[in-house]
Structure 1
Amino acid sequence: MISQATVILVLLAAAHANPDNYGPVYASGPIPYGFNYAVNDAYKGTNFGQTEKSDGNSLWGSYTVALPDGRKQTVDYTANHGRGFVAKVSYSGKTQHPRVSGPAVVFPQNGGGYH
């Protein structure tokens, strides 16, 4: 019983390790696709998006995200079986930090002042 389970697990691992099983494959071969999305929520400060397309053998894409310091990060990438995943990361905009802070928070000593 244990040896049968071991054989099944080894066969499943070998099937998943085969690089020919990379991506959706049907009788006619890999299927080309393309998609994109964008999210921009000014209330929460969320701003990001992605675009990707594939010819069935290689893929090309880009995603962007607004960073908390005010810059925009862009990652342009390609991927295929020969070169793997190759990414180029770039930034635009200037880093912004608040120059003025609010008043210091002061807590009363020995519980004084609040009853």
Structure 2
Amino acid sequence: MDPKVFVLFALVATAFGDHPPAGYSLPQPAPSPSYGAPQVPAKYDFDWAVNDAASNNDFGHQESRDGDFTQGSYYVLLPDGRTQRVTYNVDGDSGFVAEVTYEGEARPSYGPAPSPQPSYAPPPPSPAYGGN
């Protein structure tokens, strides 16, 4: 092959090898889909409580939010008779700010807690199948 023809082919291949043909454009990414209505700031209030004297359970939680500001509290009756209450707020990116307080006076416990007793039963006897 004539060296001039080889150089000519090399130049043509270099000129057209890295570029798309005329009139061709690369595909563009699809736009992000829209999921429903535009986002609105969060706004809610809730409150719940449990007070069961038979099991000595008394606890609850209250919270409200308006946009980036959230405030609330939760409480629990402790085994020593005091109520622990946590009051908190969050304002935007400021983080969770909490204050912990105790209501009432601690009562001493009366004796050690009972030790757990096993609550299983032995397995039933195996059935006897007829034999010789």
Query: If the TM-score is normalised by the length of the shorter chain, which range does it land in?
Result: 0.5 to 0.7
Query: Alpha carbon RMSD of aligned pairs, Å?
Result: 1.8
The DSSP-based 3-state class of the residue aligned with 2:68 is coil
Structure 2 length normalisation: TM-score? 0.53
Please list every run of 5 or more consecutive structure 2 residues that lacks an aligned counterpart in the other structure.
1-36, 113-132
**Whole-Å separation in 2 of the counterparts to 1:29 and 1:65:** 34
Match of residue 54 from structure 2: 43
Equivalences, count: 76
Separation (CA, whole Å) in 1 of partners of 2:95 and 2:38: 24
Amino acid at match of 1:75: V
Which residue of the partner structure matches residue 33 of structure 1? Answer: 44
Q: Does the CA contact (< 8 Å) of 1:33 and 1:56 recur in 2?
A: no
Percentage of pairs with the same residue: 42
- Out of 55, 58, 65, the residue aligned to residue 69 of structure 2 is 58
TM-score normalised by L of structure 1: 0.60
Tell whether the 8 Å contact from 2:62 to 2:72 is kept in structure 1 after alignment: yes
Larger CA Rg, structure 1 vs 2: 2
Could you tell me how far apart the structure 2 residues matched to 1:29 and 1:95 are? 46
CA deviation map 1:6-38 (0-9, x unaligned): xxxxxxxxxxxxxxxxxxxx6142220000000
Alignment of 1:70-109 (within 5 A): 70-99=81-110, 101=111
Q: Is there any run of 5+ residues in structure 1 with no aligned partner, and where?
A: 1-25, 103-115
